[in-house]
């Protein structure tokens, strides 16, 4: 609901612990205050405004989604440093693999044409779908995969903001298309990361780890590399680095990956996060089986469920409220993590895909805070991914999460 149940604030006891007190100095910047100023008068605004002078603290309730990609190229050193400086206590490396089976941080194995300069580099010839110019009938297209590159070739690329111009007639033109609410201000000299790089960086930043094992764009096994090998290699790199399992929340949309970790790496499996999203059949599910479905996950050892935000919210009497799905998952004893806040841009015309069930009542950027309050107070999530972690950090600090 839009109102804040202040009495509930002190009752929330999140499972995720406070991150270690190391790393860079933390600053909220101006955005949280900007959003608070836009809130309508009421208990939520009063509570959050009263915290404006608080000292920022890192919190594992705040999770950097690919770092801070609202303004920084995702999965780069710079993006994750920004997220850590905004107080994110957990940082994410989406994990995929190269031709020589090295693990690297990319949102998808086949996104190099939108997230790097590969199309304007000498490596353009490696793309499985070469750049094709737009015509009056068809949009421009390309597809470039990490699995076509060695690790050395991958590291030679320059990252950019995730974008593409489907009207482009040249590879250079295809590099454009950036959403108006994002920026190119922080792309100069940005650095790509291997998974091992991310482990070292996140530890230096005082943050914990939430790697996501991405679905391969190639048929598995790949050069003898099986899905089980892939899942195991991810865990092995934490063990080799001496990272305790309690600091790692490994994620996957593939339930078999989660079950592999539970069965073969039980210490890491305790915190394995099963990702689910609206566009993968959620609207076709039968709510009468949710209790049974969630009980089956729990019985198999799954503890964490991470639904997209649109699965956790609903419209109720003209207000944002916890969905029936969220309530059923919590009733089954699953720990919930929500993704991803502040990915939709300005909310004046609704919140797009992430706010699908409540788009008709979302009309101001302040609704990011309203939705966040519902996720924390009514849904009872243990953490929230965000493209700009300062907002979640501010809220969590203010509410004692």
Give residues with Cβ within 8 angstroms of 339, minimum separation 6.
63, 65, 275, 306, 307, 308, 309, 384, 385
Q: How many helices (H) and strands (E) does the chain have?
A: 16, 15
Q: Rounded to whole angstroms, how far apart are CA atoms 355 and 368?
A: 10
Q: CB of 272 within 8 A of CB of 300?
A: no
pLDDT value of residue 4: 40
> Which pLDDT score is estimated for 215?
98
Q: What is the pLDDT of residues 253-278, one digit of tens each?
A: 999 999 999 999 999 999 999 999 99
Residues 6+ apart with CB under 8 A from 283: none
The bridge status of strand 88-91 relative to strand 59-64 is parallel
Where do the structural domains in the chain lie, given as residue ranges? 6-93+193-399, 109-190
- The phi and psi torsions of 58 (rounded to 5 degrees) equal -70, 140
Q: How far is CA 99 from CA 24, 152, 195, 254, 285, in A?
A: 35, 10, 15, 22, 38
The pair of structure tokens assigned to 145 is: 């995969």
306 bridge partner residues? 275
Residue 261: which residues within 8 A CB-CB, separation 6 or more?
A: 231, 235, 250, 268, 269, 272
Taking only the tens place, the pLDDT of each residue in 305-328 is 999 999 999 999 999 999 999 999
How far is the C-alpha of 77 from the C-alpha of 90, rounded, in Å?
Answer: 14
pLDDT band with cut points at 50, 70 and 90 for residue 21: low
Per-residue model confidence as pLDDT tens digits over 148-203: 999 999 999 999 999 999 999 999 999 999 999 999 999 999 999 999 999 999 99
Neighbour count for residue 126 (Cβ, 10 Å): 18
Q: What is the pLDDT of residues 91-103, one digit of tens each?
A: 999 999 999 999 9
pLDDT for residue 19 is more than 50: no
Locate tokens 């737009």: which residue? 134
**Cα–Cα distances in Å, from 61 out to 17, 45, 77?**
8, 20, 21
Whose tokens are 């609202």? That residue is: 70
Task: Reply yes or no on whether the pLDDT at 384 is more than 90.
Answer: yes
**Mean pLDDT in residue range 226-252:** 98
Residue 13: pLDDT above 70? no
| In the chain, % of residues over pLDDT 90 | 92
Going through 212-323 in order, the beta strands assigned E by DSSP cover 212-213, 251-252, 273-276, 304-307, 313-316, 319-322
Reply yes or no on whether the pLDDT at 341 is more than 80.
Answer: yes
Contact 313, 323 (CB under 8 A): yes
* Dist. CA 265–CA 213, nearest whole Å: 15
CATH 3.20.20.190 for the 6-93+193-399 domain, yes or no: yes
- Please state, in angstroms and as integers, the Cα–Cα distance from residue 320 to each residue in 50, 111, 367, 373, 379, following that order: 23, 34, 9, 10, 11
Strands 313-316 and 383-386: unpaired
Q: What is the pLDDT of residues 51-61, one digit of tens each?
A: 999 999 999 99
Our CA dihedral for 305, 306, 307, 313, rounded to 10 degrees, sits at: 90
Mean pLDDT over 61-90 rounds to: 98
Task: List the structure tokens of 237.
Answer: 């790199």
Question: What is the chain's mean pLDDT, rounded?
Answer: 94
């Amino acid at each position: 609901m839009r109102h804040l149940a202040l009495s509930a604030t002190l009752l929330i006891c999140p499972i995720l612990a406070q991150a270690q007190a190391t790393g860079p100095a933390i600053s909220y910047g101006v955005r949280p205050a900007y959003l608070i100023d836009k809130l309508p008068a009421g208990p939520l605004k009063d509570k959050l405004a009263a915290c404006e002078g608080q000292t920022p603290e890192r919190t594992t309730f705040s999770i950097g989604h690919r770092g801070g990609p609202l303004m920084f190229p995702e999965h780069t050193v710079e993006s994750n440093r920004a997220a850590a400086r905004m107080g994110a206590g957990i940082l994410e490396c989406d994990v995929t693999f190269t031709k020589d089976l090295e693990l690297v941080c990319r949102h998808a194995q086949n996104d190099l044409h939108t997230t790097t300069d590969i199309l304007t580099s000498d490596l353009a010839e490696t793309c499985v779908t070469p750049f094709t110019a737009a015509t009056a009938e068809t949009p421009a297209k390309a597809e470039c995969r990490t699995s076509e590159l060695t690790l050395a070739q991958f590291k030679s690329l320059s990252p950019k903001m995730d974008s593409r111009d489907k009207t482009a007639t040249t590879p250079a033109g295809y590099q454009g298309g950036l959403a108006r609410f994002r920026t190119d201000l922080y792309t100069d000299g940005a650095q790509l990361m291997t998974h091992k790089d991310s482990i070292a960086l996140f530890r230096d930043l005082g943050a914990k780890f939430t790697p996501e094992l991405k679905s391969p764009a190639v048929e598995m096994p790949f050069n003898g590399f099986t899905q089980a090998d892939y899942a195991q290699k991810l865990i092995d790199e934490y063990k080799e680095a001496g990272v305790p399992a309690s600091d790692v929340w490994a994620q996957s949309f593939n339930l078999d990956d989660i079950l592999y970790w539970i069965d073969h790496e039980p210490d890491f499996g305790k915190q394995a996060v099963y990702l689910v999203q609206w566009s993968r059949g959620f609207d076709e599910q039968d709510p009468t089986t949710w209790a049974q479905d969630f009980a089956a996950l729990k019985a198999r050892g799954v503890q964490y469920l991470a639904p997209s935000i649109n699965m956790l919210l609903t419209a109720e009497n003209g207000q944002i409220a916890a969905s029936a799905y969220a309530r059923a998952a919590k009733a089954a004893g699953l720990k919930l993590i929500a993704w991803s806040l502040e990915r939709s841009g300005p909310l004046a015309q609704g919140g797009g895909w992430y706010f699908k069930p409540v788009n008709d009542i979302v009309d101001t950027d302040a609704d990011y805070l309203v939705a966040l309050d519902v996720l924390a107070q009514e849904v009872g999530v243990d953490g929230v991914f965000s493209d700009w972690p300062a907002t979640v950090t501010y809220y969590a600090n203010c509410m004692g999460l």
